[in-house]
Amino acid sequence: MIALLLRDLRLATRAGGGFGLGLAFFLMVAVLVPLGVGPEAATLSRIAPGILWVGALLACLLSLDRLFALDFEDGSLDLLATAPIPLEGMVAVKGLAHWLVTGLPLTAISPVLGLLMHLAPAGYPWLVLALALGTPALSMIGAFGAALTVGLKRGGLLMSLLVLPMYVPTLIFGADLVTRGAQGQATTTPLLFLAAVTLGSAAVLPFAAAQALRMNLR
């Protein structure tokens, strides 16, 4: 499984679609929003948590269509399905690899983009915590959507339509956690709900995605 993880990381960095594209999109969102809504610090500070979370969500979505598609096209997915490692473990490893090349870099760069969005100083640690806790759920939910649409023509559009509604709870609780933290309010409720979404996704979705892959490989 470690070898599979290292293989996916090498493929993602060589293709340039996971690491660079996600960061570039996240940066573009943080730069273009102030140009669109105006440079007023009070307005940007108020909308910063939601905008940054939407940017991170869409950045994670960019590379999901290639999560299983490349392996399906060259036949590697059939070999992985018959390998000694469980298919559920393969899905979990691919979700982890996606998070390492998208969610983790987005989390690391988020304080810089928070500065561009005039996020309140108290909100910076909560922004990092929220993204570190919530982006793994985005990757696992995306892996489930990618497994459902693997092998379909123009499956990326269908996958987006399937995945985006499932992203809504993570978006709501993640943005609410940052907003409450920036305003000095209690953060226990959104923090627990965000953790529950992530843990639930990690526990359930590898099995659902593996079953979807088995159906598509028949």
Question: Half-sphere exposure of residue 167, counting CA atoms within 13 Å on the CB side?
Answer: 24
End-to-end CA distance of the chain: 24
What single-letter DSSP state applies at residue 40? -
Q: What is the 3-state secondary structure (H, E, C) of 25-38?
A: HHHHHHHHHHHHHC
Give pLDDT tens digits for 53-74: 999 999 888 878 778 877 777 7
Amino acid at the residue 15: A
Cut 0.75: pTM above it: yes
Give pLDDT tens digits for 66-114: 788 777 777 777 777 777 788 888 889 989 988 998 899 999 999 999 9
Give pLDDT tens digits for 128-165: 999 999 999 999 999 999 888 887 776 677 888 889 99
Give the integer Cα–Cα distance in Å for 50 and 30: 11
